[in-house]
Amino acid sequence: PDNLPAPAAGQPVEFKRLETSNRAQCWHQNGKFLGFIINIEPFFKAKSIQQVDQYAEALKSAIHHECEHIKNPGSDYQGNGVGPAVQYMSNPGEIQAHAREMARAYAKHFPNQPFDINKAKQLLSLPNFNNTHRNYFDKLADPNISKQHGLQQNPYDLVIQAVNQLLPQYQG
C-alpha cells in the first residue's frame, strides 16, 4: 500500500476463483478507484508447471494493465462487432493500459531496445496477449477503420505513442 498513490492505498485486492476469461479487474465508482479482483481460477485448472508459469506471467501482465486503470479508468466492452470494439479500444484508459502491458513485455523480451512494431508483433502470440492486443498492434493500423467509425485519432497511433512513453519505466 505504501507504493500506491493515496487514493489507491488501502483499497481491497480480492483473489477469487471466477468462471470468466478476465484475469483481473479494476473497479471504479463515480471516477473513484475502489479496488481489484484477481482471478486465480486458471491456477486450479493448470495441468503442468508450464501452464502455471504461463498463467503467472499473464496475470502479472494483467495486474500492470489494471494498475494503470487506477489513474486512467477504462471502459467496458459493450456489445458485439467491430463498432463497439473500436469504441472500447479508443478509450484513453484502455489505450494506456494495453500500452503498459506491451511496454512491460517488450522490455522483458527486448531489453534496452527502442520500440519496434515488428518485434512487438512477435510477442502477440504469448499467452498474456489476447485478440484485443492483436487488434491494437495490427488490425487498427489500417487508418480506414478509424475513419469508418468517426474517430479523430487512430487508436493504433495512440497505443504506439503510449508504449514509447511507458517503455523507459521498464528499461534499465
pLDDT tens per residue, range 81-120: 888 888 889 999 999 999 999 999 999 999 999 999 999 9
CA distance 158 to 92: 9
Read off the amino acid at residue 139.
K
Residues in CB range of 118: below 8 A, 6 or more apart: none
pTM, to two decimals: 0.87
pLDDT at residue number 69:
86
pLDDT tens per residue, range 43-70: 899 999 999 999 999 888 888 888 888 8
Closest to 89 in 3D by CA, of 166, 20, 154? 154
Q: Determine the 3-state secondary structure of 31 from DSSP.
A: coil
Is the pLDDT assigned to residue 72 strictly greater than 90? Answer: no
pLDDT tens per residue, range 141-165: 988 888 888 888 999 999 999 999 9
Q: Considering just the CA atoms, what is the radius of gyration of the chain in Å?
A: 16
